[in-house]
Structure 1
């Protein structure tokens, strides 16, 4: 019994001390500075009579110092993808403002009188409002806008603009910004095209098309964020120039050798087969001619890419011509395909082994330069593996097919195997560069890398969801993003850098695909092309000003500039922007303090900031309004959390009263323990 009493006293002491310790350390760092901006934003609601425009109040507060946390709440309802888009809006705004994203917290609240239907069309307004708050600038009450934020900091296309404009006019809006290329937008109820500028004149609203978040911000505030023309200097370090020249020489020599081989073998082929191979060789010659011009102009990565394509085409033509010139084309095609598959498998296994050894052993000291080279290798590794799987599957089909179908399957298998082989070579090449670049660049923050990749993955998922609500079939991209989400979750759990890079490669490719398809749906690709390049130039210039060594974004930009295909150019610009944003986040070199030169913002005295934790349940239904449109309805519950902010920062401290209380409790417990021990000592 006496032992039990002592145990109880000790237990009480432990509990009290733990409680006091918890109270003393649970107080979070306090905000010194906040800035709030309010903005009217339009949305679309579905009623029994069809779609109508509605207005919501967007309230954005940025607070410093923070941890890069985005608090999003909506009342009464919100779309699932709005939450991921809010985080991307904060990322874009912080980069454009030239501040450190992780030095602030972002409080975003959307208040509406009706449940909102549609995609992340308020994310562009969020980016503008956050940017204004960071720069201490107010937005006029008669301004509103619609459009989604894209990773390249452009203002992306959205639906329901006629309904949104009508709602904005009813709310007293006089200036209304829409994404470029959407002047003629579809009415959700009639399916007819509407001239939004003309409709705006009828309603007394000045409708302005904006191509980028920066443009929309300048229209809203009059604050000139960037010069209109930013000249980007694309130059590479000497070791990269040397490497690109080596690649050019290798692929040029390979293409020429296989070109000769194919031309010699063509004479023994039938006219129809020879004709198809001649077309391939003609395209290869075009790539080599373009490569020669690009090489002379100093565009080395673009030149190497052209020679790379020519090498693949001529290798396929040479091997196919040899196979069909033989007495048993089926057997020769099978043998050639297996040879390339086996050789590629060996190369990829070696690359994967080096990845695992180098990254898992040295990830704590990886630099921003190495990160870009690792990413370049990983994207090519995954691409090679995908083509390798395709080649193997086609071989399996050929085994069960009749003669003609077998020949077709084997030809495609050989093509996929050859592509996989050359892709594997480039994966090994970029990984070798990464291993040699240990002393180049600045160390990155690994925790920020993990968080950034996770943000990208969820934003890509939200973009996929938005496209699906528009009725677009993007099953392949959705599968790719789902795979990225699974990989990043496993990578985060195990702190596995290889998995994280895999997820990043899947996600950025998925973002590029989604962006291209989104512009295809709204037919805005050509209109936004110049804007995407201009916006990308601003992002890259921001990084250059911070002395971040740019490699991957510059390589992709250089190659994109030489292409003609709109979707291909946009895809590369989006990938370049995505990697630029990533570098800005993980390099962590931006200004960490508020822009105090401006008059906006407030120093904080003690106050309580309310944060709403949002839990969202999504149900997808199909509603018919003259045509079938899939609508995502969302049920949201909120939980209020209070966070105290005050005008002093520093190490975490408890109050004098709390300290005194802890001393009294400890002294009392010590006395009780002493008395109990003395009584026990005196017992026989």
Structure 2
């Protein structure tokens, strides 16, 4: 009997290996879509690959099978496609498993250019939509649903045309691409090889092949061409001043502490130090008067760190005094951690407050360790000052607990599971971001957040672990979105468009959440984005606000699924059936990958600047 079972099991494995796309899953929804890629080798060509997406009930796992084998960024593309599709639809990612089966006739170059197609297919599978087989697309998927630049477009266009394409969707801004031509010239016994670069209008080239080439900016736009549907966004608005009373409590507490500390350092600080501190305090007061209470809180927090450092410099004059202060801060951290770990009163409202406090106490512990390991006394005092004020800021967030009138209890096991899954997602996102050249400063910050989240998980601070993991996802995602964006007027305009879209998405997510939960933390980050002068930081905090709102919504089980709206397109002009010209009639295209680090983009310093 046992041998028979083993034989059946092996037969099943063989069957799956031979025809993975035909494997059956329980309660599955599947969609097959054609994507375009570039074959590897000395003379790359366009190739059409089949991608089958299968969605089943599950718990947020993503599986990828590729034939032949492709590089890790295909794995990352699948992970990102699944998460983005769920975000756009307002569906809980953790309630499904996703299977991506990629099959090609020849080895293809690893790359993220199939991400957009995979996201479209995932949406179609989740919503049981049919895919038009004469529409093709190439484009990287960004976590906010935008389509990013790719290389090899002329090759891919040729492959699509050869396989019956009538519409070929490309990322916005890539109507004209620059390609390289390799020329060989024989002079006597010698062969001289030269390479020239020239622009190619892809739209015009598509017309020659009988294909209409269309630029798209978002997944929603591409979805209309593939399915005839787009995603309806709810027309909800929220009033930032509605939460003024709650956020004012944070600012009042921080302002009081900062004023008290200022009175202590006035006689100790140098004139230029006092001038700088007063400047920060004045900025904080101005924000307070304008009703930007969280921004005011953050500025008072920065002032407190500087004042605490000055106080330490003048009052800690011996190793014994330094050791005592280390012990004092460490004891404060341990006492607060013990309180947080043993709290049994976490609910859908208080989750965000406990999470904010746990994140801050973990950062306090991190900077205490930095202070202990520092060989420079002033640096040790600076890190120690930050650690102490971080502990205080955790208490400030916990001071809002009495404002909660009713709270639906949450189980710690459920929060722990969510935190573990988000941490796994963040780790995958960072691997993917590194593989495709994401913005390094943001990736490094995301890695730091992951280290914090791991520590929080180990110590039972699950609310903080979930929020820290979500911050890591946000930063890793943003590092991907900055790929190829140069510090030019066009680059700034692109970022501004992303800021507008991120603001709208944050408002929508907060508006949906406030139907069930008071969104204190998302609103705080939204306000911080509103008042930030750095355009990249503004983009980052809008996105963080949106993701934290969605995280709280998931924990509170208040996800609102998006509806699809039928879209009528103007009929496309008919083209005669065209066969691509022979090889000698087509220029020898060699794609230039448009991936350049965003010049001028600096590390945002999320972890130090926000309160």
Corresponding position of 1:217: 223
- CA displacement at 1:448 relative to structure 2: 5.0
TM-score (ref. length: structure 2): 0.70
Corresponding position of 2:206: 203
Corresponding position of 1:370: 350
CA separation of 1:111 and 1:224: change in aligned 2, threshold 3 A: same
Corresponding position of 2:382: 415
Number of residues paired by the alignment?
521
For residues 61-460 of structure 1, what are the structure 2 equivalents within 5 Å?
61-62=54-55, 70=62, 72-80=64-72, 82-83=74-75, 86-99=78-91, 101=93, 106-151=98-143, 153-155=144-146, 157=148, 159-160=150-151, 162=153, 164=156, 167-168=159-160, 170-178=162-170, 198-204=201-207, 205-210=212-217, 212-218=218-224, 220-226=226-232, 231-234=237-240, 240-241=246-247, 243-254=249-260, 256-257=262-263, 260-261=266-267, 265-266=270-271, 277=273, 281-282=275-276, 284-317=277-310, 322=314, 332=317, 340-358=325-343, 362=344, 366-394=346-374, 397=375, 409-434=376-401, 436=402, 440-444=406-410, 449-460=415-426
Q: Which has the higher helix share?
A: 1
- CA displacement at 1:348 relative to structure 2: 0.8
Higher mean alpha-carbon deviation, 88-97 vs 346-355, is at 88-97
Cα displacement string for residues 555-592 of structure 1 (whole angstroms, at most 9, x for unaligned residues): 11211221122332333234333323322332223469
Corresponding position of 1:644: none
CA separation of 1:564 and 1:171: change in aligned 2, threshold 3 A: farther
Higher mean alpha-carbon deviation, 301-310 vs 512-521, is at 512-521
- CA displacement at 1:294 relative to structure 2: 2.6
Say whether the 8 Å CA contact 2:423–2:469 is kept in structure 1. Answer: yes
For residues 18-37 of structure 1, what are the structure 2 equivalents within 5 Å?
31=27, 36-37=30-31
Cα displacement string for residues 596-637 of structure 1 (whole angstroms, at most 9, x for unaligned residues): 9999xxxxxxxxxxxxxxxxxxxxxxxxx999x9xxxxxxxx
Q: Distance in 2 between matches of 1:367 and 1:479?
A: 29
**1:154 aligns to what SS in structure 2?**
coil
Corresponding position of 1:54: 47
- CA displacement at 1:425 relative to structure 2: 0.6
Cα displacement string for residues 168-192 of structure 1 (whole angstroms, at most 9, x for unaligned residues): 4554545455556777878699999
Does 1:510 find its partner at 2:472? yes
Q: RCO higher in 1 or 2 (8 Å CA, sep ≥ 6)?
A: 1
CA RMSD of aligned residues (A): 4.4
Say whether the 8 Å CA contact 1:147–1:155 is kept in structure 2. Answer: no
**1:244 aligns to what SS in structure 2?**
helix
Say whether the 8 Å CA contact 2:31–2:52 is kept in structure 1. Answer: yes
Q: 2:484 aligns with which of 507, 516, 522?
A: 522
Say whether the 8 Å CA contact 2:32–2:52 is kept in structure 1. Answer: yes
Cα displacement string for residues 128-183 of structure 1 (whole angstroms, at most 9, x for unaligned residues): 333234444434334344445555x3336464354555554554545455556777
Corresponding position of 1:565: 534
Q: Distance in 1 between matches of 2:135 and 2:58?
A: 29
- CA displacement at 1:252 relative to structure 2: 4.8
Q: Distance in 1 between matches of 2:512 and 2:326?
A: 44
CA separation of 1:483 and 1:38: change in aligned 2, threshold 3 A: same
Say whether the 8 Å CA contact 1:157–1:182 is kept in structure 2. Answer: no
Does 1:42 find its partner at 2:45? no
Say whether the 8 Å CA contact 1:262–1:314 is kept in structure 2. Answer: no
Does 1:581 find its partner at 2:550? yes
Say whether the 8 Å CA contact 1:344–1:421 is kept in structure 2. Answer: yes
Structure 1 residue ranges, 4+ long, deviating more than 6 angstroms after superposition: 181-196, 333-336, 594-599
**2:50 aligns to what SS in structure 1?**
strand
CA separation of 1:295 and 1:172: change in aligned 2, threshold 3 A: farther
Structure 1, unmatched stretches of 5+, are 1-27, 267-273, 324-330, 398-408, 600-624, 630-684
Higher mean alpha-carbon deviation, 292-301 vs 103-112, is at 103-112
- CA displacement at 1:390 relative to structure 2: 1.9
Say whether the 8 Å CA contact 2:446–2:471 is kept in structure 1. Answer: no
- CA displacement at 1:384 relative to structure 2: 1.4
Q: Distance in 2 between matches of 1:255 and 1:184?
A: 59
CA separation of 1:247 and 1:462: change in aligned 2, threshold 3 A: same
CA separation of 1:374 and 1:334: change in aligned 2, threshold 3 A: same
Say whether the 8 Å CA contact 1:183–1:195 is kept in structure 2. Answer: no
Cα displacement string for residues 366-416 of structure 1 (whole angstroms, at most 9, x for unaligned residues): 32222211211122122212222222222xx2xxxxxxxxxxx32222222
